[in-house]
């Protein structure tokens, strides 16, 4: 003789396909209305048994085809039902519905007394993600997370809400892992140009990752990263996020250093196109913003030439964020009315020489002396404050200050090295580094 062991859990979680099946809701109040709406959304045929119904439920019966039996509950009303839900507010009626459901072997949710029920409605968080066949999120698969919390609905709702936020931001893994029927190849095992999704073209997202801090990427960018099959990354992007990717996500490093471009831009473009044409979701993870000296426009053009859908996700540009990390606003009332961003010293002669105009230089460490001389020659005072901010938001962030006359020597003495952003203008005086410098 065998006996069933004592249960370890009170419930056995599962999802119910109620589409086209009868679900009986007993009661006419707001709870019954919410449950009826949920059942309708799942495709169930809903029958409401109640002498009167609230306004929301009346709207469902009028416009959504809900059957309304306008009387009190009677034994036999559950005939043919797959699921029952009672929320009458009358303990005696709810108990009778639960007893009839038990006799008819119909699972029953009892809103008034969970002890009477044989089923419970969890708190649910839902989000849509791209399907494994390459469909976009609007028409792709749905991820549903159901939370039961020991019959404590408020606790379940709080956990649900926390999960929903992480789903929306991409902090939870959202990427589809099932591939085309009959194939179990990982993305990097597919032959180049051969779509693993049965010929469906994939997509490319040009995602601005910000100055490198993992918390400064946008919510949209973080989510796309969580859904990606392939990530093509820069050296200055938020590389810490790569550690969160699944092992089978292909990561292609095309990072550049000053004077060293191991992967030419044309080859980067080809990598994006190749993987997208193979049916994969590709994220081009870039430092800063894709369109601020990021060559995002060239990558966009290359993809569009091949009919690949492209999404551009703006990022926090280092031209503004790195000075801010050092306490320097690029504009400030009374000090600066505008700013210009350049990548070197060649065009500084075209920048307004007014003292209330800030100049921000990206990738300009090696030519700092020439830049300072050119600005002075253009009419800037030699005493104009300058700050060089290294590794903004990174572990070795440091600010070196001086003037156009002294900054090149100071940077050389301090051993300043890329990545660094240089700020020229009166706004540098607002930096704590300037205030703490005895001889600027």
State which of 263, 298, 316 marks the end of a domain: 316
Asked if residue 5 belongs to a domain, the reply is no
Mark whether 141 and 107 lie in a shared domain.
Answer: no
Query: pLDDT (tens digit, 9 = 90+) per residue, 2-26?
Result: 556 655 667 788 889 999 999 999 9
SS3 408: helix
The residue written with tokens 């801010």 in the block is 324
**DSSP label of 191:** P
Report whether pLDDT(67) > 60.
Answer: yes
Most confident region among 80-89, 186-195, 364-373 by mean pLDDT: 80-89
Residue 161, pLDDT score: 84
- Which range has the worst mean pLDDT, 69-73, 183-187, 219-223, 376-380? 183-187
Residue 260, pLDDT score: 58
Query: pLDDT (tens digit, 9 = 90+) per residue, 228-285?
Result: 999 999 888 898 899 888 888 999 999 766 555 678 999 999 999 999 999 999 999 9
Residue 198, pLDDT score: 52
Q: Give CA–CA dist 321/220, Å, rounded.
A: 19
Q: In CATH, what number is assigned to the domain containing residue 98?
A: 3.40.50.720
Asked if residue 242 belongs to a domain, the reply is yes
Catalytically annotated residue among 104, 136, 213, 256 = 256
- 322 contacts: CB under 8 Å, gap ≥ 6: 211, 389, 392, 393, 421
Q: In CATH, what number is assigned to the domain containing residue 244?
A: 3.40.1010.10
Query: pLDDT (tens digit, 9 = 90+) per residue, 384-399?
Result: 999 999 999 989 999 9
**DSSP label of 124:** E
State which of 289, 316, 343 marks the end of a domain: 316
If one counts the domains in the chain, the total is 4
Query: pLDDT (tens digit, 9 = 90+) per residue, 317-360?
Result: 999 999 999 999 999 999 999 999 998 666 787 788 889 999 99
Q: Do strands 123-129 and 357-362 pair parallel, antiparallel, or not at all (unpaired)? A: unpaired
Query: pLDDT (tens digit, 9 = 90+) per residue, 28-46?
Result: 999 999 999 999 999 999 9
Residue 189, pLDDT score: 42
Mark whether 229 and 298 lie in a shared domain.
Answer: yes
CA neighbours closer than 13 Å in the CB half-sphere of residue 84: 32
Mark whether 275 and 157 lie in a shared domain.
Answer: no
Residue 186, pLDDT score: 45
Q: Do strands 338-342 and 357-362 pair parallel, antiparallel, or not at all (unpaired)? A: parallel
Check: CB of residue 202 under 8 Å from CB of residue 277: yes
Mark whether 219 and 297 lie in a shared domain.
Answer: yes
Residue 142 is inside which H or E element, if any? Answer: strand 141-147
Tell me the CA distances in angstroms from 296 to 235, 268, 317, one per residue in order. Answer: 15, 11, 13
- Which comes out higher in pLDDT, residue 434 or 131? 434
Mark whether 298 and 368 lie in a shared domain.
Answer: no
Mark whether 28 and 146 lie in a shared domain.
Answer: no
Residue 11, pLDDT score: 77
Catalytic site residue 234?
A: yes
Asked if residue 295 belongs to a domain, the reply is yes
Catalytically annotated residue among 94, 234, 289, 391 = 234
Per-residue buried b or exposed e for 345-357, using 16+ beta carbons within 10 Å of the residue's own CB: beebeebbbeeeb
SS3 93: helix
Quickly count: other Cβ atoms within 10 Å of residue 331's Cβ. Answer: 15
Q: In CATH, what number is assigned to the domain containing residue 386?
A: 3.30.950.10
Q: Give CA–CA dist 360/358, Å, rounded.
A: 7
Q: Give CA–CA dist 382/356, Å, rounded.
A: 15
SS3 136: coil
Residue range of the domain that includes 228: 187-316
**Which tokens hold the place of 336?**
């600066």
Catalytic site residue 286?
A: no
- 387 contacts: CB under 8 Å, gap ≥ 6: 323, 326, 328, 399, 400, 401, 422, 423, 428, 431, 433, 434
Q: Do strands 45-49 and 67-69 pair parallel, antiparallel, or not at all (unpaired)? A: parallel
């Amino acid at each position: 003789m065998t006996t069933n062991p004592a249960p370890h859990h009170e419930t056995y979680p599962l999802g119910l396909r109620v589409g086209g099946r009868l679900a009986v809701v007993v009661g006419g109040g707001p709870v019954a209305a919410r449950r009826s709406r949920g059942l309708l959304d799942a495709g169930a045929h809903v029958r409401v048994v109640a002498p009167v119904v609230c306004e929301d439920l009346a709207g469902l019966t009028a416009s959504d085809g809900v059957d309304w039996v306008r009387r009190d509950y009677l034994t036999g009303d559950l005939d043919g039902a797959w699921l029952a839900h009672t929320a009458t507010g009358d303990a005696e009626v709810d108990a009778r519905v639960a007893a009839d459901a038990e006799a008819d072997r119909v699972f029953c949710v009892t809103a008034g007394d969970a002890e009477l029920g044989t089923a419970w409605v969890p708190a649910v968080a839902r989000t849509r993600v791209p399907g494994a066949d390459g469909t976009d999120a609007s028409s792709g698969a749905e991820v549903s997370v159901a939370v039961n919390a020991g019959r404590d609905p408020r606790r379940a709702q709080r956990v649900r809400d926390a999960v929903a936020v992480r789903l929306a931001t991409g902090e939870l893994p959202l990427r589809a892992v099932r591939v085309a029927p009959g194939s179990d190849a990982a993305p990097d095992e597919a032959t180049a140009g051969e779509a693993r999704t049965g010929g469906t073209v994939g997509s490319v997202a040009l995602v601005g990752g910000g100055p490198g801090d993992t918390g400064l990427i946008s919510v949209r960018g973080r989510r796309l990263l969580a859904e990606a099959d392939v990530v093509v990354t820069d050296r200055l992007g938020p590389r810490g996020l790569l550690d969160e990717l699944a092992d089978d996500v292909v990561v292609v490093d095309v990072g550049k250093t000053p004077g060293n471009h191991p992967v030419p831009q044309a080859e980067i473009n080809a990598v994006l196109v190749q993987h997208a044409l193979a049916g994969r979701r590709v994220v081009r993870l870039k430092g800063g913003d894709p369109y601020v000296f990021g060559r995002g426009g060239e990558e966009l053009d290359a993809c569009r030439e091949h009919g690949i859908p492209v999404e551009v996700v703006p990022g926090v540009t280092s031209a503004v964020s790195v000075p801010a990390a050092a306490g320097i606003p690029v504009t400030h009332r009374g000090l600066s009315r505008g700013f210009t961003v350049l990548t070197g010293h060649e065009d500084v002669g075209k920048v307004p020489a007014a003292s209330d105009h800030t100049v921000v230089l990206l990738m300009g460490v090696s030519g700092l002396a020439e830049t300072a001389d050119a600005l002075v020659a253009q009419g800037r005072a030699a005493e104009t404050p300058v700050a060089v901010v290294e590794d903004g938001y990174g572990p070795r962030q440091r600010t070196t200050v001086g003037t156009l006359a002294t900054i090149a020597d100071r940077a050389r003495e301090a051993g300043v090295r890329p990545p660094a952003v240089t700020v020229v203008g009166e706004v540098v005086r607002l930096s704590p580094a300037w205030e703490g410098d005895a001889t600027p």
